Structure 1
Amino acid sequence: MNKRKRIAILTSGGDCSGLNAAIRAATLRAINHYGWEVLGVQRATQGLMNHPPDVVELTVEKVNSILTMGGTFLGTANQGNPFAFKLPDGSIENRSAAIGEAYRTLGLDALIGIGGDGSISILEKLAEEHGINLVTIPKTIDNDVDVTEWAVGFHTAVNIATEALDRLHFTAASHSRVMILEVMGRDAGHIAISAGIAGGADVILIPEIPYSMDHICEKIAQQQRQGKNYCLIIVSEAVKTEEGEPITCSNASEKARYGGIGNYLADRIAECNGAETRVMVLGHLQRGGIPSPMDRLIASAFGVAAVDLIAQEKFNRMVAWQNRQVIDIPILDAIRQYRPVDREGTVAKTARGLGIYLGD
């Protein structure tokens, strides 16, 4: 317990606000309280597959000023699964052993991995197969990691989406338009429903609840009859067509991803209502910018707790936020399933209670 430890921290998967706050907290706790040495792994697991490993020493001086920075100053990657790594010639190779070798070469006592459910799943498998002492921190703007009420990055994304709705109110009213805001969230509608309530949307569409175009058009008409000359709609990117078909887009360098549901809805509204409609796709703005105070708080609490777990030699655990406190749970329990919006939960009931059309 009194041995001077050497630990490493990496961020993996998509970036979000609050990652640097978690890195800072873990580094400060490890150095100031325990007197440990801390390394930062650059570009996620790809940094550990390089020879030599791509790491930097993290010091108090290096992390003191990163609390309010967006993104991750260590860099990240959401491609390059080490168990199925794509080589330049297009072939696939299992390069996971290189990560285990790097862990030992660096003389690490533990690794803190900050990521979403996909990244955490890969890290857990690496830890199991290659003897890595692992503690993980959940981060995702989608907030769909199970058993934790909040993940790093979610609150900032909701703030940005809410601000967008706040701004759209005025232009929608000025031109008597229907404004559709398409937001991220992958297969969960947490961003859309939270921002929709906070931003005064009239219609909120999320993947968890089916909808009817007839009911949407009737909601717009109802607004008009009540003297409101505009309508705000927020829709999660994973919402499907009425027929249940996903809408995706892609280019030559990437696989298909969600995108386009806003334009689909605009065309259908024009057909059934004739209202002038505009679409705004918020996109990666939701990932960037200065982290909100809540994200800084959660990330800081997670960073401290992760280091304390290492000190207690409690490994293969994920920190989580439940009932106003940080707990820790087995990683496999945390990633067994994703957390969708509860159709009958408090947030959904609030939306319906406000008269927001939430689907059928």
Structure 2
Amino acid sequence: MANKKRIGILTSGGDCAGLNAVIRAVVRHAVGTYEWEVVGICQATHGLMTRPPQIMTLGIEQVDSWLMLGGTVLGTTNKGNPFAFPMSDGTTIDRSQEIIDGYHQLNLDALIGIGGDGSLAILRRLAQQGDINFVAIPKTIDNDVNITEFSIGFDTAVSVATEAIDRLHFTAASHSRVMILEVMGRDAGHIALNSGIAGGAQIILIPEIPYKLENIYNKVRRRQKIGKNFSVAVVSEAVCTQSGETVQKMEQFGECRLGGIGQYFANEIAQATGAETRVTVLGHLQRGGISSPLDRVLGSAFGVAAVDLIATGQFDRMVTWQNREVRSVPITEAIKDYRAVDPQDTLVKTARGLGICLGDR
């Protein structure tokens, strides 16, 4: 074909369910419909830093079994900003040009990048600097990318958290305990809010809604008075202590990550109400595993739409899900703000209507 193209695709940032569904859709549409060549770039931008670049040539038969797979077959990384790349001696250097050169060495006509707001901001900056035709696809279990109702990975994360709540209910009732489930969420409480409603939690705490411990105690006490000697609480990892302190834990290589707020609430609730408390931290269980049907459908729709954007020469845009259809918006609009839970959101009102305590009243 005279218009035959060679396009690249990479996954960047943390992994999540649905990524392989996107890759599969891109390959099936680009190869099957347009007869293009698709190159998978391994380990995100790190694959473009190596010489020769670390790639996989992707064909339809190769990717057809990837639809339900969790994680990303291409591999990914959420470390090493290429504009300030950390070196072994503690210094940082700008390695952006290495990535740009790697892209051009592959003779690519366009690049599809799947990432969250942080990854997409870096990829767009690289694209602008290096004359790269770039199209973005949003993925994050936190669902905090702006101007899209859903991002890849969110629905699976909510499903996993909901199943955990379902299971915790039985133990909570059997032992008259307050069971606290700590879920991921970085800066946004979408996972906690959605899974808490779906799982029938009595208490949901998210960073967007300030709380008072006394309100939480009162919810537990009211249930105790009517013979409900158990409660299930869902807490987003980004919630701070009542005094405003972020709860973090030190990990390997000296990194501090969110985690531990569930134990903080367990200690406070136990002391104030006398209730026996237990904490479950889901952690990376929310990101792994087989993708949900919605993430597979969404990933497929996003992959097809991204290829069509390339075919029509529409670059520097991100595909989104709005009003039950795929649209595209300028990447700058999508990444300029993150999408937090609006305290007046329909689901917040739903939670209140169901009698769920959000900690502020």
- Flag whether TM exceeds 0.5 (same fold): yes
Quote the residue 1:315 is aligned against.
315
Q: Distance in 1 between matches of 2:70 and 2:314?
A: 30
Question: Does 1:241 find its partner at 2:241?
Answer: yes
Tell me the CA shift for residue 190 of structure 1.
Answer: 0.1
Instruction: List aligned pairs for 1:255-334, cutoff 5 A.
Output: 255-334=255-334
Tell me the CA shift for residue 2 of structure 1.
Answer: 4.8
Tell me the CA shift for residue 226 of structure 1.
Answer: 2.1
Equivalent AA in structure 1 for residue 333 of structure 2: D
Q: Distance in 1 between matches of 2:26 and 2:67?
A: 12
Q: Distance in 2 between matches of 1:101 and 1:309?
A: 24
- Can you list the C-alpha shifts for 1:290-310, whole angstroms capped at 9, x where unaligned? 000000010100000000000
Tell me the CA shift for residue 251 of structure 1.
Answer: 2.5
Q: Distance in 2 between matches of 1:129 and 1:252?
A: 33
Instruction: List aligned pairs for 1:221-240, cutoff 5 A.
Output: 221-240=221-240
Question: Does 1:47 find its partner at 2:50?
Answer: no
Tell me the CA shift for residue 91 of structure 1.
Answer: 2.3
Q: Distance in 1 between matches of 2:53 and 2:176?
A: 57
Higher mean C-alpha displacement, 319-328 vs 217-226: 217-226
Tell me the CA shift for residue 96 of structure 1.
Answer: 0.6
Q: Distance in 1 between matches of 2:141 and 2:101?
A: 32
Quote the residue 1:160 is aligned against.
160
Equivalent AA in structure 2 for residue 246 of structure 1: T
Q: What secondary structure is seen at the aligned counterpart in 2 of 1:253?
A: helix
- Can you list the C-alpha shifts for 1:90-125, whole angstroms capped at 9, x where unaligned? 321111111111111111000000000000000000
Quote the residue 1:101 is aligned against.
101
Quote the residue 2:217 is aligned against.
217
Quote the residue 1:187 is aligned against.
187
* CA contact 2:262–2:281 (8 Å) conserved in 1: yes
Q: Distance in 1 between matches of 2:88 and 2:33?
A: 44
* CA contact 2:320–2:326 (8 Å) conserved in 1: yes
Tell me the CA shift for residue 61 of structure 1.
Answer: 1.3
Tell me the CA shift for residue 256 of structure 1.
Answer: 1.1
Q: Distance in 2 between matches of 1:21 and 1:2?
A: 29
Equivalent AA in structure 2 for residue 134 of structure 1: F
Instruction: List aligned pairs for 1:71-150, cutoff 5 A.
Output: 71-150=71-150
Q: What secondary structure is seen at the aligned counterpart in 2 of 1:65?
A: helix
Quote the residue 2:198 is aligned against.
198
Equivalent AA in structure 1 for residue 166 of structure 2: D
How many residues are treated as equivalent by the alignment? Answer: 360
Q: What secondary structure is seen at the aligned counterpart in 1 of 2:66?
A: coil
Q: What secondary structure is seen at the aligned counterpart in 2 of 1:246?
A: coil
Q: What secondary structure is seen at the aligned counterpart in 1 of 2:65?
A: coil
- Can you list the C-alpha shifts for 1:328-354, whole angstroms capped at 9, x where unaligned? 000000000000001011000000000
Q: Distance in 1 between matches of 2:250 and 2:61?
A: 42
* CA contact 2:251–2:257 (8 Å) conserved in 1: no
Tell me the CA shift for residue 254 of structure 1.
Answer: 4.0
Quote the residue 1:253 is aligned against.
253
Q: Distance in 1 between matches of 2:132 and 2:225?
A: 63
Instruction: List aligned pairs for 1:33-72, cutoff 5 A.
Output: 33-72=33-72
Tell me the CA shift for residue 359 of structure 1.
Answer: 2.2
* CA contact 2:69–2:290 (8 Å) conserved in 1: yes
Higher mean C-alpha displacement, 277-286 vs 86-95: 86-95
Equivalent AA in structure 1 for residue 197 of structure 2: I
- Identify unmatched segments of 5+ residues in structure 1: none
- Can you list the C-alpha shifts for 1:122-181, whole angstroms capped at 9, x where unaligned? 000000001000001000000000000000000000000000000001000000000000
Q: Distance in 2 between matches of 1:339 and 1:165?
A: 25
Equivalent AA in structure 1 for residue 359 of structure 2: G
Runs of 4+ that moved beyond 4 A: none
TM-score (norm: length of structure 1): 0.99
Q: Distance in 1 between matches of 2:252 and 2:288?
A: 25
- Can you list the C-alpha shifts for 1:44-83, whole angstroms capped at 9, x where unaligned? 0000010110011001111000001000000000001111
Q: Distance in 1 between matches of 2:258 and 2:157?
A: 17
Question: Does 1:359 find its partner at 2:359?
Answer: yes
Tell me the CA shift for residue 89 of structure 1.
Answer: 2.8
Tell me the CA shift for residue 197 of structure 1.
Answer: 0.2
Distance 1:47 1:192, change over 3 A: same
Instruction: Provide the alpha-carbon RMSD of the alignment.
Output: 0.9
Equivalent AA in structure 2 for residue 348 of structure 1: V
